[in-house]
């Protein structure tokens, strides 16, 4: 058996890199059976995850390690003891149909970290890896969509994926809440170990385990957008006093008009100097540093 994937080319095989990049640009759903010669399990499986937990080497941020069922979190006392995640209690939660959701595993698993660095350098996008461990017919989350493009690698067990359309186009965190679609799924398949699924951002989906324990890895891609560039520009304005002047403390109308003119002039200068090509090149370095 080959070594675990460490590059974009190895990760998407049997697709070529060019084929995957075309699907990524188009945000087109892709499902491949028994891809990559079954090497996904070598990235990380349940035994490796449990060892990390037992050794205390796991993400400590509350939003990076969660236990939930259909988006409802399990009480923290059910799976944490003395301030640390308890593997035995986690197993009990799994037996009760809860799922374990761990994100940013690349910060704790060297092989995943190396893979993410390669992906970020190749795509100029922010990347990170998460894992979901599930038992029972209910999923970790209710029907939802992700803001990131997502490669799913089925590592252990099976998992039913249902995807519903139409998708939310080019979603970014902070957009208005969208209504879930109605009707039959446009994709309804059971993923088996070694399966590859590319779920573009904005695709509504729900997952459930058919039997036993199921583990899949998710590789998340966040691309830079014009909105991100504009937000970065506005944060730079904080260093300039003209943007920090309290408007309610300017009583004279002519002074307020002068301030308005100065703010507009500086904004136009900053927007005119914006270069999206430079921002795109800096994106992954800033977000992954």
All structural domains of the chain with their residue ranges? 8-222, 226-288
At 137, the pLDDT band (50, 70, 90 cuts) reads: confident
Alpha carbon separation from 232 to 166, 212, 264, 268 (Å, rounded): 31, 46, 17, 15
- What pLDDT score does 3 carry? 73
Does pLDDT of 258 surpass 90? yes
Nearest residue to 237 (alpha-carbon basis) of 270, 262, 276, 268: 270
Task: Enter the pTM of the model.
Answer: 0.92
- Alpha carbon separation from 69 to 41, 43, 143 (Å, rounded): 24, 25, 12
Tell me if the domain spanning 8-222 has CATH number 2.60.120.650: yes
Q: Are 43 and 155 spatial neighbours (Cβ–Cβ below 8 Å)?
A: yes
Across the chain, mean pLDDT equals: 92
In this prediction, residue 36 carries a pLDDT of 72
pLDDT of 25 higher than 50: yes
- pLDDT tens-digit profile of 217-253? 999 999 999 999 999 999 899 999 999 999 999 989 9
List, for residues 166-205, the tens digit of each pLDDT value: 999 999 999 998 999 999 999 999 999 999 999 999 999 9
> How much is the pLDDT for 1?
46
pLDDT of residue 2: 58
User: Which residue, chain included where needed, has tokens 């892709």?
Assistant: 30
């Amino acid at each position: 058996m080959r070594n675990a994937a460490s590059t974009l080319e190895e990760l998407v095989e049997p697709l070529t890199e060019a084929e995957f990049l075309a699907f990524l640009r188009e945000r087109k759903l892709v499902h491949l059976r028994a891809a990559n010669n079954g090497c996904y399990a070598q990235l990380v499986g349940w035994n490796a995850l449990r060892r990390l937990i037992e050794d205390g080497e796991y993400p400590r941020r509350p939003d990076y390690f969660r236990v939930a069922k259909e988006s409802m979190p399990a009480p923290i006392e059910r799976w944490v003891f003395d301030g640390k995640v308890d593997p035995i209690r986690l197993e009990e939660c799994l037996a009760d149909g809860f799922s374990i959701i761990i994100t940013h595993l690349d910060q704790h698993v060297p092989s995943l970290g190396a893979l993410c660095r390669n992906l970020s350098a190749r795509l100029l996008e922010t990347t990170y890896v998460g894992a979901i461990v599930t038992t029972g017919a209910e999923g970790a989350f209710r029907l939802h969509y992700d803001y990131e493009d997502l490669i799913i690698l089925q590592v252990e067990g099976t998992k039913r994926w249902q995807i519903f359309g139409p998708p939310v186009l080019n979603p970014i965190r902070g957009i208005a809440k969208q209504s879930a679609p109605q009707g039959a799924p446009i994709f309804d398949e059971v993923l088996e170990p070694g399966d590859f699924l590319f779920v573009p951002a904005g695709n509504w989906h729900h997952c459930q385990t058919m039997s036993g324990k199921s583990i899949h890895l998710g590789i998340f891609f966040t691309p830079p957008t014009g909105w991100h560039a504009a937000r970065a520009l506005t944060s730079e304005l904080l260093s300039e006093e003209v943007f920090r002047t309290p408007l309610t403390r300017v009583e004279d109308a002519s002074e307020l008009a002068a301030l308005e003119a100065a703010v507009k002039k500086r904004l136009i200068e900053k927007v005119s100097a914006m270069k999206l090509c430079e921002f795109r090149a800096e994106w992954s370095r800033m977000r992954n540093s």
